[in-house]
Amino acid sequence: MNKQAVLDQFLAVLNAELASLTRAAQGAFAAATDPDSKAENKYDTRTLEASYVARGQAQRVAELQEAVRAFGALSGNVFDSDSAITLGALVSLETPEELAHYFLGPFAGGTEILHEGNEVVVITPASALGQKLIGRRAGDVIALRPGIAAKVVTVK
């Protein structure tokens, strides 16, 4: 698996989501400030509700902008074969049932891509799995759940 290609794919997904959410936030802001949406009586809360939506979407846009910036700052360089897992690592874990691929990213945990027929999921250092992987090396075994272990196959 090409680490730089994986990183580029994640950036493309985040940028597309950012563009879509930015358009939605602009629409929500326009709805909240539109003179035609003025309250007709004291029970009409359309404008208030639209402002809440606009504020929430603006916050999400700011979070996505930070995620794009942070992913853009990561290097696509491949780690040495005996390197410890840190931020920016592409990790493959083998369980008795499957081979799973994870990218240890600064934000956007749960974001998924399909790369060369393999699903790759972003995990963050704050996640339970991320905490278990930080500092581990290829060949180490970690406990995923009671009775289920996974072997770190590769660290790129």
pLDDT in tens, 101-130: 999 999 999 999 999 999 999 999 999 999
Q: What is the pTM of this model?
A: 0.88
| 23-27 CB contacts, 8 Å cutoff, 24+ apart | 24/57, 25/54, 25/57, 25/58, 25/60, 25/61
Mean pLDDT of 42-69: 91
The pLDDT of residue 35: 82
Strand partners, 91: 102, 155
The pLDDT of residue 9: 97
Question: Tokens 């660290």 correspond to what residue?
Answer: 155
Per residue in 30-44, pLDDT (tens digit) is: 988 888 777 788 787
The SS3 call for residue 51 is: helix
